[in-house]
Amino acid sequence: MRFSCTPQRLLFYLILASGILSALLVNDTICLMLTPLVIAVIRRGKLPLLPYLIALATSANIGSVATLVGNPQNMIIGHFSHIPFSQFSRTLAPAAIIGLAINFIILRFGFRCALRSAVIEREARVVPKLDRGLFAIVCIVFLSIFACFVAGLNLAWTALSGAVLVMVFARRDTHEVLKLVDWHLLIFFAALFVVVDGLSDIGSPMRFIDIWDQSSDQA
């Protein structure tokens, strides 16, 4: 909020941040992590919620296409196709950048009246102290993980190793950390993949494709 002089600039920063972070940390994670923060900031600034929440959701999905770890679909594609991480990013990163730019233009135009009439109200608040040691550990591990991704190492094991390193070097109570994991969401995704794999095994997708091809030929 301190660096955003206008509501339009705040919208731009939100789209840019959520788009980049979703390409690095999975779009679902960014939506869950940033939504409470965005709501708190927008309410504190007395701004309309709708443009910024839509910007968060749309930019997280658009930005996630840039890497193999941006969303679960890309992870599955990378797992079965064995496309190198760097090659995938070189191909789709430009599309993500263009999509984020279009997203900003559409949202700014669509909510031009609400953003033009809004004024950021600043309140004096105590900023929590940054744990510089933990921040440094996370940054180093994060950069190391992506270096391993680019080097072609296994995505899942690399990410898991990075998480273990952070938990070890941070010297935090692992029980408290595990309590913060959204196990319901993880079970939801796991069950969803089981259902999709079951449909694939019985041949339902190919049947729909064959029916679609037959109807197209008849037309």
> Can you tell me whether residue 122 is helix, strand or coil?
coil
pLDDT at 137 over 70: yes
Q: What is the average pLDDT score of the chain? A: 83
Query: Quick one: pLDDT band at residue 105, thresholds 50, 70, 90?
Result: very high
Phi, psi of 89 (to 5 degrees): -70, -40
Instruction: Using a pLDDT cut of 70, give the percent of the chain over it.
Output: 86
pLDDT at residue 153, as a whole number: 84
Q: What is the pLDDT of residue 188?
A: 79
pLDDT band at 196 (very low <50, low <70, confident <90, very high): confident
Distances in Å between the Cα of 107 and the Cα atoms of 15, 57, 115, 123 are 10, 12, 10, 26
* CA 111 and chain centroid, separation: 23
Question: Can you give the pLDDT at residue 93?
Answer: 93
Q: What is the pLDDT of residues 30-44, one digit of tens each?
A: 888 889 888 988 888
Q: What pLDDT is attached to residue 170?
A: 80
Exposure string of 19-47, with b = 16+ CB inside 10 Å and e = fewer, is bbbbbbbbbbbbbeebeeebeebbeebeb
Task: Identify the residue whose tokens are 């309590």.
Answer: 179
Asked if residue 20 lies in contact with residue 116, where contact means CB atoms within 8 angstroms, the answer is: no
The pTM of the full predicted model, rounded to 2 decimals, is 0.73
Query: For 16-25, 46-55, 167-176, which range has the lowest pLDDT when averaged over its residues?
Result: 167-176
- Confidence check: pLDDT of 162 > 60: yes
Note the pLDDT tens digit of each residue in 45-75. 788 889 999 999 999 999 999 999 888 888 8
Confidence class of residue 127 from pLDDT cuts 50, 70 and 90?
Answer: low
Residue 25, amino acid: L
CA distance 206 to 214: 12
Nearest CA to 55 among 115, 117, 101, 104? 104
User: Is pLDDT above 90 for 102?
Assistant: yes
**Rounded to 5 degrees, what angle do the CA atoms 63, 178, 148 make?**
45
- Top pLDDT among 4 and 193 is at 193
Using DSSP's 3-state secondary structure scheme, residue 4 falls into coil
